[in-house]
Amino acid sequence: MMLEGKVAIVTGSTQGLGLDIARQLLAEGARVMLVGRNADSGQALARALDCGFCVCDVERDEDIDACIAATLARFGRLDILVNNACLYADQGLASDRAQWLKTLNVNLVSAAIFTQKAAVHLPGGVVINIGSTGGKFGAAGRALYPASKAGILQLTKNLAMTLAPQQIRVLSVSPAWTWSPSVAEFSDNDPQLADRVGAPFHPLGRIGRGHEIGSVVAFLCSAGASWMTGVDVPVDGGFSILGPDRGVSPRVWFQQHRDSQ
């Protein structure tokens, strides 16, 4: 129970990775305010998990203010903010200005504004920004999501420096391929297929699971990580240590080429 007595807000937490993170924080003793736009699903989850729920569009400052106020009214304090809300739609170079602004507003600007507004209530607390390996490497046909996640990684460093005098720690966590609604769609809801497809890109031979990301987030929010701030923690099955050769020597690639002839 690393987080017993702590109170957390997790944005974008009524499905997917955000929900997995919220579950892990609850399992470690935290009291959690789920944040999402769907009132019906959010309220049902809050009842099932015995936690709070706040309807919130992270693009609206008034919604963010109301969410923080509701958390303080219900729990009396705030110790942890997890900026997870995210859009994944991305048409790369074909994206128009409105699409760019929408994605950056949700994925990057909302994290900055939520942190700005929460910081006054967070001395001694923790902000976790959810990054991605997508913010570290090039990907053909994409631009919006990677750019926003690269921005999150830089924002984490700046916020860590800015908030350090208040003893607020700021970190980012960057998953690689992780089981989620989008991966479930790609794989026809078959985790074993997803693992097989993802194996060549992850030295541990499979894709991640949300609870694995959530466990690391919970640790970073705990006293065990009290000397950590301003860094990105890759939780990616080794994805980020591979180069284009997937960690295999040229000798092997040339042999495979000869064998295929």
Q: What is the CATH number of the domain that holds 92?
A: 3.40.50.720
Q: Give the model confidence (pLDDT) of 11-34 as tens digits.
A: 999 999 999 999 999 999 999 999
> Which residues of the chain carry a pLDDT beneath 50?
none
Pairing outcome for strands 169-175 and 80-83 = unpaired
Domain for residue 50, yes or no?
yes
Pairing outcome for strands 52-55 and 31-36 = parallel
Domain for residue 2, yes or no?
no
Task: Quote the CA–CA distance of 29 and 242 in Å, as a whole number.
Answer: 36
Query: What pLDDT, on a 0 to 100 scale, did the predictor assign at position 85?
Result: 97
Domain for residue 1, yes or no?
no
Domain for residue 227, yes or no?
yes
Among 114, 145, 177, 239, the one annotated catalytic? 145
Query: What pLDDT, on a 0 to 100 scale, did the predictor assign at position 171?
Result: 98
Pairing outcome for strands 169-175 and 232-235 = parallel
What H or E segment, with its residue span, contains residue 17?
helix 16-27
pTM for the model? 0.94
Domain for residue 132, yes or no?
yes
Domain for residue 61, yes or no?
yes
Contact 29, 3 (CB under 8 A): yes
State which residues form the domain around 150.
Answer: 7-260
Query: What pLDDT, on a 0 to 100 scale, did the predictor assign at position 239?
Result: 95
Say whether 88 is catalytic.
no
Domain for residue 226, yes or no?
yes
Domain for residue 215, yes or no?
yes
Domain tally, the chain? 1
Query: What pLDDT, on a 0 to 100 scale, did the predictor assign at position 256?
Result: 84
Beta bridge partners of 178: 208
Task: Quote the CA–CA distance of 147 and 253 in Å, as a whole number.
Answer: 32
Mean of per-residue pLDDT scores for the chain: 96
How far is residue 177 CA from its own chain's centroid?
12
Which of 61, 18, 23 lies closest to 36, judged by CA? 18
